[in-house]
Amino acid sequence: MTDEALVRRDWPPPLPGAAPLPQMVRAQAGLELRTLVRNGEQLLLTLIIPVLLLVAFGHADLVSVGSVSRIGFIVPGILALTVLSTAFTSQAIATGFERRYGVLKRLGAAPLSRRGLIAAKTASVLVVEVAQAAIVLAVGAAIGWRPVADPAALVWVPLLLLAGTAAFSGLALLLAGTVRAEATLAAANLLYLIMLGLGAVLFPLTKFPAAARPVLRLLPADALADGLRSVLLYGGGVPGTDLLVLCVWAAAAIALAVRTFRWE
């Protein structure tokens, strides 16, 4: 057999065209995940701060939650906070500066579409959130948290977290894809504090004026925290209203992000 035949047999020529979309999404998601793990500031925001708040609010008498267990009230709120921190604030800031430094402009020249980029970033966020949830639940259990839930919680909790991730990820990419990096940094941190204070993450809605409660219940952070509490604290049934609110936010934010996202 000639050398030319060996080369043809052992080294097939590359096929023209782009790789399949799922393969491109997996490759980009792996890159996004490695970048996130190596960023100390983002790890502080996504992991250390939620755990510190869990320990502080779970033990100290910093907030009155009525007749329910304080730790039982706080753990679902901290789970919602991890989604807010990772899917919204951290992702918005990272994507904003990727635009500023030309990373997204280079990606724009690649076959990966806007939908593919959004899917890859959301997938990397989901992987981080699984680790976050495991740590929060372990720390909560160590300081006395005992969920009041039926087996259906194994379905509703992941659905709530998935819907919340989609909503906050869409909002993050909508913000980062339309304004400058410095404005994204300021707005993401400001909205993080607003949703932390007004989204029933750490404080019950009964602490707010009655006229404001219907509006606050429509916020994604509130819907996620309340839905998780209805399942894990009160042992409720299907958190239909909270899931609907999150799905509406997710659909609207992702649709707008896909239409308006700028690579440069």
Give 161-186 pLDDT, tens digit per residue. Answer: 999 999 998 899 899 888 888 888 89
Q: How confident is the model at residue 3 (pLDDT cuts 50, 70, 90)?
A: low
Query: CA 244 to CA 260: how far, in whole Å?
Result: 24
Q: Would residue 16 count as lying in a domain? A: no
Q: Domain count for the chain, please give it.
A: 1
pLDDT at 60: 59
Q: Note whether residue 68 is domain-resident.
A: yes
Check residue 164 and give its pLDDT: 93
pLDDT at 83: 92
Task: Flag whether 10 is in a domain.
Answer: no
Indicate the pLDDT class of residue 108, thresholds 50, 70 and 90: low
Question: d(Cα 63, Cα 19) in Å, to the nearest integer?
Answer: 52
Domain annotation covers residue 242: yes
Position 203 scores a pLDDT of 80
Could you tell me if residue 1 is inside a domain? no
Going by pLDDT thresholds of 50, 70 and 90, the confidence category of residue 251 is very high
DSSP code string of 36-81: HHH-HHHHIIIIIHHHHHHHHHHHS--S--TTS-HHHHHHHHHHHH
116 and 22 Cβ atoms separated by less than 8 Å: no
CA pair distance 126, 132, nearest whole angstrom: 10
Which residues neighbour 254 within 8 Å (Cβ) at sequence distance 6 or greater? Answer: 118, 166, 169, 170, 173
pTM for the structure as a whole:
0.81
Q: Is residue 3 part of a domain?
A: no
Q: Specify the DSSP class assigned to residue 150.
A: -
Q: What was the pLDDT predicted at 54?
A: 87
Domain residues for the domain of 27 are 21-260
pLDDT tens for 4-55 read: 555 455 555 655 556 676 777 788 788 777 877 776 666 777 778 888 888 8
Give residue 220's pLDDT band: very low, low, confident or very high (50, 70, 90): very high
What is the average pLDDT value for the chain, to the nearest integer?
A: 81
The Cβ of residue 111 has, within 10 Å, a number of other Cβ atoms equal to 11
